[in-house]
Amino acid sequence: MAPGPWSREQDGRFAAGVLGVLADNVLAQAVLAHRHPDMWAVTTELAFDFFAPPVEGQKLTASATVLVVDAGGGGSRGRIIDESGGAVADVTFWGRFVEGVPQAVVDQHRAPSLEVRPGSLAELLGLERDGDQMVLRERSELVNPLGMMHGGVLVPTLEQAAVELGARPEGMVTASMRINYLRPASGDILVAVRQIHRGRTFASAEATALRPDGKMAAWALLTFRSTGR
């Protein structure tokens, strides 16, 4: 993946959450390699530790090793590096095996790519403010081969909702994100954010993605950290 204008926030800073699709695809593959031929997998948890923002124009590469696999699913751990081998993020993935291989996989459907469009990150995601919440409008390119919202897309969605709704204090960066995928997400997704801590040097917030039926599809804990004194 090559970061570009689409991966920047309004103030020009790199949006760490855009690593979500790359990480989810690569770490899921490490577990999918061990699936029963009649099964597929869905992501249940992703945990990111973000290090330095990448240098623009440099390609980012994700690698993954499987941690454990059993009949129900498995976990993998991975790292995203820049062209000089510098660590950009570490990621842990957990997924569940589900019955049936999606037809889109058999037909070699391409996973959504956050590189598919020019423009800003806000335009790419199509995240809109609605009062004290944000809305992610349903779009076909945001879904995975199973027809549900791609887990990786919810990473920048929840991060940017937290940023837009003011949960990340000035001068702080997104240091980590842990996301639980509780139910398949589809339709317009409403994102609510709650500040948990707002200190001088670090802050935390939770972000929840709600489906049109009001049920929670995903829950994330975000940590922001000051890079100054």
Ligand X SMILES: CC(C)(COP(=O)(O)OP(=O)(O)OC[C@H]1O[C@@H](n2cnc3c(N)ncnc32)[C@H](O)[C@@H]1OP(=O)(O)O)[C@@H](O)C(=O)NCCC(=O)NCCSC(=O)Cc1ccccc1
Is 111 a binding residue for ligand X by CB under 6 A? The answer is yes
* Stretch of 36-44, 76-84, 195-203, 219-227 contacting ligand X, by CB under 6 A: 36-44
Query: Least distance (Å) from ligand X to the CB of residue 217?
Result: 7
Site string for ligand X, 185-204 (x = CB under 6 A): x-------------------
* Stretch of 7-15, 38-46, 156-164, 194-202 contacting ligand X, by CB under 6 A: 38-46
Is 223 a binding residue for ligand X by CB under 6 A? The answer is no
* CA–centroid distance for 113 within its chain: 12
Is 150 a binding residue for ligand X by CB under 6 A? The answer is yes
Sequence-distant (6+) residues with CB within 8 A of 207 are: 158, 159, 161, 162, 167, 191, 192, 193, 194, 219, 220, 222
Helix (H) or strand (E) holding 69: strand 61-70
Strand, coil or helix: 73? strand
Sequence-distant (6+) residues with CB within 8 A of 190 are: 130, 133, 134, 135, 209, 210
Number of helices (H) and strands (E), helices first, in the chain?
Answer: 4, 10
Query: Least distance (Å) from ligand X to the CB of residue 123?
Result: 22
Compute the distance between CA of residue 76 and CA of residue 74 in angstroms, rounded to an integer.
7
Query: Least distance (Å) from ligand X to the CB of residue 214?
Result: 10
Kindly tell me which residue out of 34, 39, 42, 169 binds ligand X, with binding defined by CB under 6 A: 42
Q: Which residues of the shown chain bind ligand X in the complex (CB under 6 A)? A: 24-25, 28, 41-44, 96, 111, 144, 148, 150-151, 181-185, 215
